[in-house]
C-alpha cells in the first residue's frame, strides 16, 4: 500500500520539520506540508505545529511508491510520458488507494516527481509527469495557459459524418446527485468551453463512430459532456449516457460485469488520450502507440446494449 505508517525514535530533541526534512529527504516546504496534513504523530495523535520541538517515539505516514514495472514510452531529464491503462487513477484519491500512476512516477524519479495533469480513471492514453519541481511548475503552467495541445480518440454511440464544434458552457454540479449522477452539466451559467470533433470511421454493425477530439479548454469531463449533449455519448461511459440506476450501481461498485456491458455498451470508457504537443526547450509531439481504433472489439453490439440518449 503506497501510504505507510512507520515508527521512528528521535534521540536528541529537534524541531519537527527539520527532522522530517532529514529523515524523508524533503524540502522545508514539503516537510511543513507533511506535518500540516497530520502525518506526524505523537502518542497516536497528529501534530500540526511544524516548529514544535520533539523527542522520543513518533510515527510518520508517508507515500512509499510500489510500481508494477510500467515504463515510460518516452523520458528525458525533465519529464516522462506513460501510456496510462484504463482503470488506473493518476493520483491516489485517498490514503487507502492501493495503486495509482504516482507509484510508477515516483518509483522511477523519486519524491519530487509528480503528475502534471488530470486524466479520468477510465480514460487510457498519454500521461505526462515531471521529474523535478522546476519541470512540474513549467508543465502545469503550460496546461493552465493552454500552450500544451492535446488530442483524444473516442468511440461514440451512433453515426457522425461531419466535423463539428461544441462551445457549450460547462458548470460543475453542486446541487447533489438525487436526480442525476452527472458531475458537470451544460449551463449558460457555466465556464466557457471549446472542443472540436472530427469523424474518422463508422462501424455500421456496431452503430458506433470513431472520432478525434481536440479540447481547447480543460474543463472537468469536457469531452464526455459535450458528446452527451449532442446525443452521441462515449460508449462505456458509466455516467453520461447511462440511466440513474445504472450509474448508481457503477458508483456503488455493485454493478456486475454483464450489467456494465449491457447498460453502458463497453467494459470501459472508450476514450483515449492520443497525442500531446508542447515545448520544453525543444518542441515535442508525442503520439500514443496503442491501436485504439481496433479496441472497437470491446463494444457490445447495438441490439444488446442499453444506452440512454
- What amino acid positions are annotated as catalytic residues? 120
For 281, half-sphere exposure in the C-beta direction (CA atoms, 13 angstrom radius) is 6
Residue 199: beta bridge partners? 211
* CB-CB contact of 2 with 97 (8 Å): yes
Determine the Cα angle at 238 with ends 210 and 221, to 5°. 70
Is the C-alpha dihedral spanning 230, 236, 242, 244 positive or negative? Answer: negative
Residue 6: beta bridge partners? 60
The greatest distance separating any two alpha carbons of the chain, rounded to the nearest whole angstrom, comes to: 74
Nine-digit cell string for 1: 500500500
DSSP code string of 43-79: TTEE---TT-EEEEEEEEEEE---------SEE-SSE
The span from the CA of 108 to the CA of 84, in Å, is 15
How is the beta sheet containing 40-42 ordered, strand by strand? 3-15, 53-63, 40-42, 45-46
Amino acid at each position: 500500500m503506497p501510504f505507510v505508517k512507520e515508527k521512528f525514535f528521535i534521540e536528541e530533541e529537534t524541531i519537527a520539520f527539520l527532522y522530517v526534512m532529514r529523515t524523508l529527504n524533503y524540502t522545508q516546504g514539503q516537510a511543513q506540508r507533511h506535518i500540516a496534513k497530520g502525518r506526524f504523530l505523537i502518542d497516536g495523535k497528529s501534530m500540526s505545529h511544524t516548529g514544535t520541538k520533539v523527542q522520543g517515539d513518533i510515527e510518520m505516514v508517508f507515500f512509499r511508491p510500489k510500481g508494477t514495472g510500467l515504463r515510460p514510452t518516452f523520458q528525458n531529464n525533465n519529464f516522462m510520458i506513460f501510456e496510462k491503462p484504463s482503470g488506473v487513477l493518476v493520483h491516489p484519491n485517498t490514503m487507502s488507494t492501493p495503486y495509482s500512476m504516482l507509484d510508477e512516477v515516483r518509483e522511477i524519479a523519486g519524491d519530487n516527481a509528480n503528475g502534471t495533469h488530470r486524466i479520468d480513471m477510465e480514460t487510457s492514453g498519454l500521461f505526462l509527469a515531471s521529474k523535478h519541481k522546476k519541470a512540474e511548475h513549467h508543465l502545469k503552467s503550460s496546461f493552465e495557459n493552454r500552450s500544451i495541445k492535446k488530442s483524444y480518440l473516442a468511440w461514440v454511440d451512433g453515426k457522425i459524418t461531419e466535423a463539428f464544434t461544441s462551445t457549450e458552457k460547462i458548470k460543475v454540479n453542486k446541487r447533489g446527485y438525487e436526480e442525476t449522477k452527472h458531475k458537470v452539466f451544460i449551463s449558460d451559467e457555466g465556464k466557457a468551453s471549446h472542443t472540436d470533433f472530427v469523424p474518422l470511421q463508422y462501424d455500421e454493425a456496431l452503430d458506433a463512430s470513431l472520432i478525434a477530439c481536440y479540447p481547447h479548454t480543460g474543463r472537468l469531463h469536457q469531452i464526455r459532456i459535450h458528446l452527451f449533449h449532442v446525443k452521441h455519448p462515449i460508449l462505456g461511459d458509466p455516467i453520461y449516457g447511462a440511466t440513474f440506476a445504472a450509474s448508481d450501481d457503477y458508483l456503488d461498485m455493485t454493478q456486475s460485469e454483464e450489467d456494465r456491458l449491457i447498460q453502458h455498451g463497453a467494459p470501459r470508457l472508450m476514450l483515449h488520450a492520443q497525442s500531446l504537443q508542447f515545448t520544453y526547450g525543444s518542441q515535442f509531439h508525442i503520439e500514443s502507440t496503442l491501436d485504439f481504433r481496433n479496441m472497437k472489439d470491446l463494444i457490445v453490439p447495438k441490439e444488446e446494449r442499453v444506452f440512454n440518449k
